[in-house]
Amino acid sequence: MTEDTHPILGLTEETLEALLKRAVRNTAILGLLPALVLLVATGWRDAAMLLTGALISAASIVEWLRLVRLINDRMKKKKAQRGAVLVIAFFLLRLVFFGAAIYGSLKCFQGSPIALVCGLSLAVVTLMWEAIRLLRE
């Protein structure tokens, strides 16, 4: 009797990077299409809120991709990467920027907070979709 390896155990760096890049693309598409529908149906305020959330979601996945690369490089070389401090500093700075973008969109656009939450949740949805695809293969 042979045991098949679990798909997650056989996950390579290239596969993970491709998965995260697809998730960024899918998040952008899933944010843009409903934003266009909202633009026609309810007006620009809700569309802008959804698009803001979707852009933050896509940018968050890109940040996680950078952190994954940093961690993988660190594990391979067993020493500190030259730009590791900068990557982490920019990660924390972008978190502050994302928080300011959320606050600014709530104050300036005055659209539905539900649209913003839907946009922000797109990263979770696309990453879950990619994980399910990975497990089914």
Termini Cα distance of the chain? 21
The first and second tokens of residue 20, run together, are 């995260």
Burial class (CB in 10 A: 0-12, 13-18, 19+), 9: exposed
Please report the pLDDT score of residue 3 as a whole number: 58
Q: 26: Cβ–Cβ under 8 A, 6 or more apart, which residues?
A: 126, 129, 130
| CA dihedral of 26, 27, 30, 35, whole degrees rounded to 10 | -150
pLDDT digits (tens, 9 = 90+) for 76-126: 775 555 667 777 788 889 889 999 999 999 999 998 999 999 999 999 999
Question: pTM of the predicted model, to two decimals?
Answer: 0.82
